[in-house]
Structure 1
Amino acid sequence: MPPPGLTPEQLSSFHKDGYLIVRNALRPETVTSLLAETQSLLQKFSLEDHDHPLTRFSTGQTSEHVGDDYFLTSGDKIRFFLEEDAFDAAGNLRKPKDKAVNKIGHGLHASSPPFARLIGRERGEEGEVSPAAVARSLGYVDPRCLQSMVICKQPGIGGAVPPHQDSTFLYTDPPSATGFWYALEDATLENGCLGFLPGSHEWAGVEKRLVRKKGDAGTEMVDNEGGSRFPRGGEGGGARRGRELDGDYVPGEVKAGDLILIHGNLLHKSERNTSAKGRIIYTFHIIEGEDREYDERNWLQPPEGGFTKLYA
């Protein structure tokens, strides 16, 4: 008998709003383990490594840095990307290294044992919500895990992330992405919790895509020409609820251990962390591997052997 996933009420809420907060999805012991692994990675990270280009992670959509080789080949590795505001005007790092990292990615689910255990447990630990069970509830036939990362949202310098859709970055035809977003520390209005435009997954199609330039010379945003804009069975017929204005976004304050599920078409964002508290989270995404085309132009390409299967 498969482990329980989402309740009918939770499924209804997810389909209606495009996101769902699942309280206490992780046990405190699991949160502690993942935080300890995060701190260990931050402490072991060396700025003197010859292969680290001091890559800054920009939350805007026009920066060229995200196309460099360090970024493009990070899909099955553990790599470190730094906050833009961790540098002074002369380009020198002005923060300790562990307080300068924006995110660690993008292959934690494959390269870090504590993070790998989270998706490797078909049933989940007692008292936890199993990612595989959630995927089954959502109707995935062959979910594949990709783009896993810790996002630190550093105190005082953690940058704002503008409204975006996850399927812009992880495009399948038709779209099939779902984000799993775990709070490892409390996420509040003050330290940059997520904000959601409820119901936008029903009317906001995937109009843009982040793709590799020819010859892997970088990345660029392009129009989604000819590709499906909505998942199968959801062709954009939903009534438009809310406008793309700040006041219409609903904050998603959560406690450590909570999980937020995010539909790939949902518009969501986060504000700058202006507080003295960090906001460390872990997120990964799944796409449907059954009867879907994963575009070879996507910035993140599958490693040898393909993306990690979520089902055993």
Structure 2
Amino acid sequence: MSRADDFERQGFLVLPGFASAAACDALMTRAEELVAGFQPETVSIFTTHEQTRTSDEYFLSSGDQIRFFFEENAFRPDGSLRQDKALSINKIGHALHDLDPLFNPFSRAPGLAALATELGWKQPLLLQSMYIFKQPHIGGEVTSHQDSTFLYTQPLTCLGFWFALEDATLENGCLWALPGGHALGLKKRFVRTPGGGTAFQVLDPTPLPEEGFVPLEVKKGTLVVLHGLLPHKSGANTSSKSRHAYSVHLIDSTATYPRDNWLLRSPSMPPRGF
């Protein structure tokens, strides 16, 4: 069975050894450099719990920027950091793939372009990228979700490339996926509201299943490919080991990208392909 057949059947692929250890190490070193240079004038906390999801301007205007988002549990009650800044960041987003000289060529490697074509994307555009730290002890849970909720197109064309830059285990918060769950259809959209801020627009009130998820424990350098409709999640990192990862999300330029999507880019910096 081909990779395209496997992807169509289960909604994800696990491809060990897609990135070299040296390439993973280079991205980790670069992320450390970016965090070291970050002076937090604005504190933005990233959470996937809907009732507290951040919709601040720093977050909403990050589609064509390199911005830094803190872990929920990084701060003391008085607002000071519990530990070093480098161990308090949840993620960097959302345009590393366009603006950083190291992340750009990694994100546009010929092997990724060939894989997108193999899976049926005709004119792929690299829309969003995230460097995810999953910090030791405080790396937050990511609740079950579908990427097309956040990167919606008509028709649906979201595709996720997720790289394990370190070994991902049950202890440090590996991904969990629901095999075949992409056949359930899109449940909701995360949209900008006319009065400012964001909201979830319910498309199908049937909740995503809570059972049937399988853990994706993978080695450093593994690429996990995620269908935009596939329900997936990750647990909190309760271990002393980090779980760094880098993800890039694609859409197809043959589809329409509505302007009420939360992630927008300025006209001067439209999404580019490979």
Q: TM-score higher than 0.5 here?
A: yes
Q: Percent identity?
A: 43
Q: Find the partner of 2:190 among 210, 216, 222.
A: 210
| Alignment of structure 1 residues 233-272 onto 2, 5 Å | 244-246=209-211, 248-272=212-236
Equivalent residue number for residue 147 of structure 2: 166
Q: Does the CA contact (< 8 Å) of 1:119 and 1:132 recur in 2?
A: no
Q: Does the CA contact (< 8 Å) of 2:42 and 2:58 recur in 1?
A: yes
Q: Find the partner of 1:286 among 235, 250, 253.
A: 250
Are residues 1:177 and 2:158 paired?
yes
Equivalent residue number for residue 120 of structure 1: 108
Q: Does the CA contact (< 8 Å) of 1:119 and 1:310 recur in 2?
A: no
Distance 1:271 1:22 in 2: 21
Q: TM-score, normalised by structure 1?
A: 0.83
Q: Structure 2: which 5+ runs fail to align?
A: none
Distance 2:268 2:78 in 1: 43
Equivalent residue number for residue 14 of structure 1: 7
Deviation of residue 31 (structure 1)? 1.1
Distance 2:150 2:46 in 1: 15
Distance 1:57 1:181 in 2: 18
Are residues 1:83 and 2:62 paired?
no
| Alignment of structure 1 residues 59-98 onto 2, 5 Å | 59-63=48-52, 66-98=54-86
Distance 1:138 1:46 in 2: 40
Indicate the larger mover: 27-36 or 263-272: 27-36
Distance 1:53 1:309 in 2: 28
Q: Find the partner of 2:199 among 214, 217, 220.
A: 220
Deviation of residue 244 (structure 1)? 1.7
String of CA shifts for 1:266-293, please: whole Å, max 9, x gaps: 0000000000000010001001111x11
Deviation of residue 306 (structure 1)? 5.3
Distance 2:262 2:32 in 1: 28
Q: Structure 1: which 5+ runs fail to align?
A: 1-7, 124-129, 226-242
Deviation of residue 305 (structure 1)? 4.3
| Alignment of structure 1 residues 297-312 onto 2, 5 Å | 297-305=260-268, 307-311=270-274
| Alignment of structure 1 residues 139-158 onto 2, 5 Å | 139-158=120-139
Question: Which amino acid is the alignment partner of residue 76 of structure 2?
Answer: D
- SS of 1:13's partner is helix
Distance 1:120 1:10 in 2: 20
Are residues 1:55 and 2:44 paired?
yes
Equivalent residue number for residue 169 of structure 2: 188
Question: Which amino acid is the alignment partner of residue 46 of structure 2?
Answer: F
Q: TM-score, normalised by structure 2?
A: 0.94
Equivalent residue number for residue 201 of structure 1: 182
Equivalenced residues, count? 271
Distance 1:183 1:222 in 2: 31
